[in-house]
């Protein structure tokens, strides 16, 4: 009798947890973005990696130990879907005011 109750409890827990396990495998990303180019930050914000161009690569001797920087852009999910974010440097005030 105890074994049946324990087995039933384990089965109930497994059934309760399974939707969360399966939903974590499906990543919601913007349309047209490849899986290997998508870096999710949370369910509403992510980063899209843009492949490098085939132009010349200039490497400074001072940064030989660093890997090349990654280019890309942030996206945010709102009620209308995914939107690309543009980061704008704010205007600076006079002196050290900002």
Considering the entire predicted model, what is its pTM?
0.54
Per-residue pLDDT of the chain (98 residues; tens, 9 = 90+): 555 565 555 555 565 655 544 444 456 889 999 999 999 999 999 999 988 766 666 666 665 566 667 789 999 999 999 999 988 877 776 666 55
Residue 38 and residue 74: Cα distance in Å, rounded? 10
CB 43 within 8 A of CB 77: yes
Q: What is the DSSP letter of 26?
A: S
Length of the chain: 98
Residue 81 and residue 32: Cα distance in Å, rounded? 13
So where are the chain's domains?
Answer: 29-84
């Amino acid at each position: 009798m105890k074994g049946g109750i324990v087995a039933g409890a384990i089965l109930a827990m497994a059934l309760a947890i399974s939707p969360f396990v399966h939903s974590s495998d499906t990543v919601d990303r913007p349309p047209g973005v490849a899986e290997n180019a998508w870096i999710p930050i949370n369910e509403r914000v992510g980063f899209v990696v843009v492949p490098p161009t085939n132009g010349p690569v200039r490497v400074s001797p001072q940064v030989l130990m660093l890997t090349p920087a990654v280019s890309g852009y942030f996206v945010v999910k709102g009620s209308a879907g995914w939107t690309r974010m543009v980061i704008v440097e704010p205007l600076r005030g006079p002196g050290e005011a900002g």
